[in-house]
Amino acid sequence: MTPFQVRRRGASIVELIGCLFAVAGGLLIGARYLGVDLKSVCASALKSADVAAPEWLADTEQAMDVENATAPAEFISTSAAMFGNDNRPSAAASDAKPVEVTADAPAEPLTVESARERRRDALGYLIPLTDQQKAVLTRAYWDELQAIIAAEEESRMACMDDACNLQLFDYLNGRRNSHSVAARAIADLNVDGVDPHVTTFSNKVLAWHEEGKRLFGRAIDLLTDAPTAQLTGPFAQSWQSAATQHRMEERLLNEKRNAVQSFLDHNLADQPATAPAAESK
């Protein structure tokens, strides 16, 4: 053996004790992480091996005996009838008829609020919506959209009926405000779980109302900038052409709305039907 070589002996007592402490610490940390009760596991192992139980286990069993002795007599008699001394079901318990669960029990109706509750699983992923939940959310979205369209049409008709008593500026400002309110209301709707046919139509309606807001805003600018306070000149003619195109787009939207309504009535027949909105004039 050369002078530089070191003779290795077996593990020393210090290393052995250190390894034992490391193993015990690992078991303790792992048991706490997994929620395992090491105390009960050790007690079960001692019982099964017929080894004398430690003092803490004897104290625990004595406390359980005292608790059972102070339990109500009715509970003890019921437990004795159901289970024998060896904790096995007795003949009376085995002969008891199981409770039948009927599948015809009426289920709670699915509401929009319950359908919009997106629960997460243990890993934090969103649970996909069911077809029934999507149908409820689509019908609710469609009803809200129809209510917004009807409110804008009612506001527009009120301005047109009272146009003789209104100044031109008031009329244009009322039309602009009605488009602005409708566009903001549509943008605030919740599209989660809504059918793509409905969301595509709502995006077109939203763009139409935003265009109407800009259109009547331009008319107000022309009116306030004109010396004679009249819509005249080449800019006014350009505005009138844009207004005509805007009205034509509204007719196309009404046809598209009827098509989407027919699609919903056919595919969401199990949901309450939506009353058709009044056609704009």
Task: Give residue 93's pLDDT band: very low, low, confident or very high (50, 70, 90).
Answer: very low
Clarify whether residues 219 and 159 are in a common domain.
Answer: yes
Q: Per mean pLDDT, which range of 148-152, 220-224, 273-277 is the poorest?
A: 273-277
Residue 215 in any domain: the answer is yes
Pairwise pLDDT comparison (167 vs 208), residue with the higher score:
208
Average pLDDT over residues 204-226: 87
Residue 105 in any domain: the answer is no
Residue 8 in any domain: the answer is no
Clarify whether residues 175 and 233 are in a common domain.
Answer: yes
pLDDT digits (tens, 9 = 90+) for 78-91: 555 555 555 455 55
Per-residue pLDDT at 226 exceeds 90: no
Q: How many angstroms separate the CA atoms of 39 and 184, rounded?
A: 63
Clarify whether residues 84 and 162 are in a common domain.
Answer: no
Q: For 221-252, b where at least 16 C-beta lie within 10 A, e where not — what string? A: ebbeeeeeeebeeeebeebeeeeeebeeeeee
pLDDT digits (tens, 9 = 90+) for 97-146: 555 545 444 455 677 777 777 665 555 567 788 888 889 999 999 999 99
Clarify whether residues 237 and 155 are in a common domain.
Answer: yes
Clarify whether residues 20 and 145 are in a common domain.
Answer: no
Residue 224 in any domain: the answer is yes
Q: How many angstroms separate the CA atoms of 264 and 143, rounded?
A: 11
**Residue-level pLDDT at 223:** 77
Per-residue pLDDT at 250 exceeds 80: yes
Clarify whether residues 136 and 263 are in a common domain.
Answer: yes
Clarify whether residues 135 and 260 are in a common domain.
Answer: yes
**Residue-level pLDDT at 51:** 55
Partners of 83 in the beta sheet? 89
**Residue-level pLDDT at 23:** 82
**Residue-level pLDDT at 240:** 82
Q: Which residues contact 231 (CB under 8 A, 6 or more apart)?
A: 219, 222, 223, 239, 240
- Domain, as residue range, for 71: 13-88
Clarify whether residues 64 and 187 are in a common domain.
Answer: no
**Residue-level pLDDT at 101:** 46
Residue 7 in any domain: the answer is no
Clarify whether residues 68 and 170 are in a common domain.
Answer: no
Residue 170 in any domain: the answer is yes
Residue 278 in any domain: the answer is no
Tell me, what DSSP letter sits at residue 11? P
Residue 26 in any domain: the answer is yes
- Quote the number of domains for the chain: 2
Average pLDDT over residues 202-223: 91
pLDDT digits (tens, 9 = 90+) for 27-61: 778 777 777 676 777 766 666 665 555 565 555 55
**Residue-level pLDDT at 129:** 82
Clarify whether residues 224 and 158 are in a common domain.
Answer: yes
Q: Across all residues in the chain, what is the average pLDDT?
A: 74
From the centroid of its chain, how far is CA 273?
Answer: 24
Clarify whether residues 137 and 262 are in a common domain.
Answer: yes
Pairwise pLDDT comparison (267 vs 256), residue with the higher score:
256
Task: Give residue 189's pLDDT band: very low, low, confident or very high (50, 70, 90).
Answer: very high
